[in-house]
């Protein structure tokens, strides 16, 4: 479970870095393409089933789009909802 949380945090940081640079952003599919390198570099991710890792990135992608695409006035309520679900 901690590996999924760590992967989600790293993927979120990568998305935030792209967003801060003002670039077009990085998609879930681009992040999934990097999984082979990630698994080779970090043995703890090699033990995770690929569908689990893809699901982590898919959930992050949906949440990220929701937060970024919502008007600024609605973001507070979305973030509170996400925090309450933890």
pTM score of the predicted model? 0.63
Give the pLDDT of the chain (86 residues) as one tens digit per residue. 778 888 888 888 888 888 788 777 788 888 888 888 888 888 887 888 888 888 888 888 888 877 776 655 555 555 555 554 44
Predicted confidence (pLDDT) per residue in 21-30, tens digit: 877 778 888 8
**Annotated domain spans of the chain:** 2-84
Q: What gap in Å lies between CA 7 and CA 4, rounded to an integer?
A: 5
Q: Which long-range contacts (CB under 8 A, 24 or more apart) does 25-33 make?
A: 27/61, 28/57, 28/58, 28/60, 28/61, 31/57, 32/57
């Amino acid at each position: 479970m901690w590996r999924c949380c760590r992967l989600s945090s790293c993927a979120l940081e990568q998305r935030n870095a792209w967003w801060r640079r003002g670039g077009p952003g990085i998609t879930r599919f681009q992040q999934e393409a990097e999984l082979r390198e990630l698994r080779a570099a970090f043995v703890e991710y090699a033990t995770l089933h690929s569908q689990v890792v893809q699901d982590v990135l898919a959930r992050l992608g949906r949440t990220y789009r929701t937060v970024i695409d919502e008007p600024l006035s609605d973001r507070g309520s979305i973030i509170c909802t996400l925090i309450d679900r933890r």
